[in-house]
Amino acid sequence: MLEKLNEIEKAALESLAAIADEAALEAWRVANVGRSSPVMSVFSQMGALSKEERPLVGQRANQVKLALEAAFAEKQSALKQAALQQSLASERLDISLPGRPLRAGGLHPATQNLRRILAILAEMGFQVYTSREVESDEYNFQLLNIPPYHPAREMQDTFYIDTGASDEAERQVLRTHTSPGQIRAMRQFSAENPENPPEIRIALPGMVYRFEQITARSEVQFNQVEGLVVGKNITFGDLKGTLAEFVRRMFGRGAKTRFRASYFPFTEPSAEMDVECFVCGGKGCGVCKKSGWLEILGCGMVHPVVLQNGGYDPQKYTGFAFGMGPERQLMLRHKIEDIRYIWGNDLRFLEQFG
């Protein structure tokens, strides 16, 4: 019996030495230390032994069983180590390498510029009011004192939307300017308190559309920022002071401005404001076409008819309004000579404004 145990041990250890993977190791465990393995069957044959032999064989069988279990555990951890070494070698990575930076997007220069304008106006007490981009002819023109066939319509070539509306006022257009938002805002505020409508100081930003040939100087869409101030005793002096201050905050404390008389149907009197050319400092250059001045916005005192259309009694209220083109300002500031770059989505252009 003792002899047999020695053989069992020797055979088992030999076959264990040849094992190289976990599946084979598991099969070895079942065959050599499992319940029906040779060494376990020795235990069940003990009853047939003499009293003297029994403790000797029992002790030896225990030794063999423990030795095989220990050899199994050792082999198991050796295989695990080998597998770990192999995966470390094959999945090697250098954690000291710097990471690849994510390519972060940036705000479009027109958006940056628009936000800057709105931030300055907000500091000056203007709240942002957004209005619709699809407007009726009535709001885009008629309520702004531009009746059908008025020559001022020539100034703004219009995209009409084919809705089959027969009534002129009901015709839908892509708004040609942000000015119809003035009527929408005034009507909304005056409806809240028709007897004594609240004062207004709002900025109306957004996209406008013109049915134009696209060239270096004209696009079919661009942003405008409209301003509207309505209250009691608002004067042309308030208009000039507000806009001159806006320009100083936008272009620098030293920025000079001048006002020229102009015409818009929805303001009376009307003006255009120029800022001293920030490219040449007023000396005259290609950007200002040698004049030393750049036109940056239209403005005026809100026409009484427009106040009336908005629900504000022109006997009691006055106001001023202005409209400017942020992309135009952007082009002037950065000497961008072709407006098509702005919506051209060319990264070589956009990335210059990180």
Binding mask 94-133 for ligand DAH (x = CB under 6 A): ----------------------------------------
Among 322, 328, 329, 342, contact with ligand DAH (rule: CB under 6 A): 322
Q: In the block, which residue shows the tokens 């001022």?
A: 152
- Report how far Cα 80 is from the mean position of its chain's Cα atoms: 49
Site for ligand DAH (CB under 6 A): which residue of 19, 183, 299, 330?
299
Helices (H), the chain: 2-17, 22-33, 38-44, 53-90, 109-123, 137-140, 180-192, 236-251, 304-309, 326-334, 347-350
Write the CA distances from 71 to 49, 67, 78, 121, 191, integer angstroms: 28, 6, 10, 82, 93
Torsional class of 164: left (φ above 0), alpha (ψ -120 to 50), beta (otherwise): left
Single residue of 180, 197, 300, 310 touching ligand DAH by CB under 6 A:
300
**Cβ distance 123 to 249 under 8 Å?**
yes
| Nearest distance, CB of residue 157 and ligand DAH, angstroms | 12
Binding residue for ligand DAH, selected from 205, 206, 298, 310, defined by CB under 6 A: 298
Q: Which of residues 161-220 bind ligand DAH (CB under 6 A)?
A: 177, 179
Q: Segment contacting ligand DAH (CB under 6 A): 123-131, 189-197, 297-305, 338-346?
A: 297-305
Work out how close the CB of 248 gets to ligand DAH at its nearest, in angstroms, rounded to a whole number: 20
Report the 10 Å Cβ neighbour count for 349.
15
Residue 284's closest CA among 292, 293, 294, 275?
Answer: 292
From the list 61, 296, 321, 331, which residue makes contact with ligand DAH (rule: CB under 6 A)? 321
Q: By CB under 6 A, what part of segment 218-257 binds ligand DAH?
A: 226
* Contact set with ligand DAH (CB under 6 A): 177, 179, 226, 264, 267, 298-300, 321-323
